Chain A
Amino acid sequence: DQQVKQNSPSLSVQEGRISILNCDYTNSMFDYFLWYKKYPAEGPTFLISISSIKDKNEDGRFTVFLNKSAKHLSLHIVPSQPGDSAVYFCAAAGSGGSYIPTFGRGTSLIVHP
């Protein structure tokens, strides 16, 4: 029973183009969403987050969009750089008792020079 789903295991993008990573969730109690980035043999690193009261949050090249009605969020990276190649995890947490984030399975992004 996956409450947070990242349906694309991998994504390949050319350097300079936009990378769009998608995430769907099923639990309507989730009200805070996070993206983590993970390099091989390292732990996940927090990237960006968004509260359910917003529909967009931007930090430099990274923007997260939230569509609550569709229970869908996406991470946009513009422009993509080879150093962005990593596994990206979507996570969701809720104040309704389940404040510990639930993680998706991750999407492996490869940015080609």
Chain B
Amino acid sequence: NAGVMQNPRHLVRRRGQEARLRCSPMKGHSHVYWYRQLPEEGLKFMVYLQKENIIDESGMPKERFSAEFPKEGPSILRIQQVVRGDSAAYFCASSSNRGSNQPQHFGDGTRLSIL
């Protein structure tokens, strides 16, 4: 079952460290989306990427956060100098096409905890 794979499932970092979250989309999918879920809240869109390109990063904080989706390999969400407020579940989703009628397929998320 080649679904969306995220790793690690759990990540613990101390304040000031870097966090790297990885996402491999479903086979055949070239569109990747990152979401963040804070406790008791819904999924907040962060960034949308297509191979080697950032299409929409309107939901991503301007500082400390970056994302990439290289030609080869998984998509990476990188958080530099993490702070306690970065603690959340980060979900990656993929789709085969762009468009509002294309359901996204989600991974099981990375739970980031900042000590």
- Residues of chain A touching chain B, judged by Cβ–Cβ distance below 8 Å, are 4, 6, 31-32, 34, 36, 41-46, 49, 51, 89, 93-95, 99-106
CB distance A51 to B107 under 8 Å?
no
Chain B residues with Cβ below 8 Å from A41 are: 108
CB distance A89 to B106 under 8 Å?
no
Chain B residues with Cβ below 8 Å from A101 are: 45, 100, 104
CB distance B42 to A45 under 8 Å?
no
Query: How far, in whole Å, are A34 and B100 apart by their CA atoms in the complex?
Result: 10
CB distance A43 to B99 under 8 Å?
no
Chain A residues with Cβ below 8 Å from B4 are: 43
Known: A43-B91, A44-B106, A100-B56. A49 touches B101 (CB 8 A): yes
B88-115 interface bits toward A, Cβ cutoff 8 Å, 1 = contact, 0 = none: 0001010000111101111111000000
* Interface size class, chain B: 20 to 34
CB distance B33 to A43 under 8 Å?
no
Chain B residues with Cβ below 8 Å from A4 are: 42
Chain B residues with Cβ below 8 Å from A93 are: 100-101
Known: A89-B43, A102-B45, A103-B42. A44 touches B91 (CB 8 A): yes
B41-66 interface bits toward A, Cβ cutoff 8 Å, 1 = contact, 0 = none: 11111001000000010000000000
Query: How far, in whole Å, are A4 and B41 apart by their CA atoms in the complex?
Result: 12
CB distance B48 to A100 under 8 Å?
yes
CB distance A42 to B108 under 8 Å?
yes
